Amino acid sequence: MGIRREGLTLADADVIQEYIDYLGVERGLAGNTLDSYGRDIKQFLRYLKTLNGDDSEQATGNGLLIEEATRATVVTYVVWMRERGMASSTIARRLAALRSFYNFMVQEDYMPRNPARDVDVPKPDKRLPVVLTVEEVERLMLQPEDGDLIGMRDRAILELLYATGIRVSELVDLDLDHISTSRRQLRCIGKGDKERIVPMGTISAQAVRRYLAAGRPQLIRDPREIALFVNNHGRRLTRQGVWKIVRRHGHRARIGKRITPHTLRHSFATHLLENGADLRSVQEMLGHADISTTQIYTHLTGGHLKDVYSRAHPRA
């Protein structure tokens, strides 16, 4: 069974693919974003299959079809996610994906109304991001072995993540012609396919230059490879590969924090603000569409601001 329109019957999976195609063609969303939307909608589809009297997550019954969901169905889905300990940010993202999907369903005359339209988005968890101290960053950067190929690559990756604050997806998408170590800047494609130029420091430029001169030429197998960072087999590194690299060196540095590529992005922004950078400039370098996203880092620099105030204000 599925959705009927003009005498045709579409399976739920077909409708999801039609929606993903719409996002890619009509709205021009990037591949990673499309994958995320697809996963979120398919997770809801799996949840629907557990309904109609069978609450197990491995239900084999037909459950509800996508077009049979009501507002009550979506509300119980939110409760179901909360009971499983999912973060508010995850629930909000999945709910946003559902709302967008059902907007498409209404637009295409598959449904008369959007069942997710008036469902409240849960308040985000008030958790501040993990940030490294400058001393911890120094320890992390010392971990890769400068004398071997992989060490040169890993050092360049760590230095570039911290020096530019780019996302791990942006890092792995970098090609050779996206970076200039002489001008100390790189060009990356962020969310929504928006391009931005990000400056880099002398230390990160030196690390990348050394990797390009002595590391990458020996790692690549195909001279036509254009990826900046490659794996042991000479092919473009994946996001998962970079995560493993960062985790491995974080463990070796004996830093008692959970370190991910995003930790270096958070540290980049926080350290800039602590040293006097203005919020708008940091927003531009991070590629945030809304400055309110960047403002979370101001919560991390309160102690520094108090010190500045104490030193600078005549009546402090």
Query: Among 94, 155, 167, 271, which one carries the catalytic annotation?
Result: 167
Q: Is 297 a catalytic residue?
A: yes
Query: Among 249, 265, 266, 271, which one carries the catalytic annotation?
Result: 265
35: which residues sit within 8 A by CB, 6+ positions away? none
Q: 52 phi and psi, to 5 degrees?
A: 65, 45
Q: Are 152 and 146 in contact (CB under 8 A)?
A: yes
Query: Among 288, 299, 304, 309, which one carries the catalytic annotation?
Result: 288
Dist. CA 231–CA 238, nearest whole Å: 8
Q: Is 288 a catalytic residue?
A: yes
Query: Among 102, 162, 211, 297, which one carries the catalytic annotation?
Result: 297
Q: Is 167 a catalytic residue?
A: yes
Q: Can you give 69-106 as a three-state secondary structure string?
A: CCHHHHHHHHHHHHHCCCCHHHHHHHHHHHHHHHHHHH
Q: Is 262 a catalytic residue?
A: yes
Amino acid of residue 137: V
Query: Among 99, 196, 210, 262, which one carries the catalytic annotation?
Result: 262
Q: Is 71 a catalytic residue?
A: no
For residue 255, what are its two tokens?
A: 């830093």
Query: Among 99, 184, 191, 196, which one carries the catalytic annotation?
Result: 191
Buried b / exposed e across 219-235, counting CB within 10 Å, b at 16+? bbeeeebebbbbbeeee
Q: How many CB atoms lie within 10 A of CB 303?
A: 9
Amino acid of residue 228: L
Q: Is 265 a catalytic residue?
A: yes
Output the CA torsion 246→247→251→256 (10° steps).
100
Catalytic residues: 167, 191, 262, 265, 288, 297
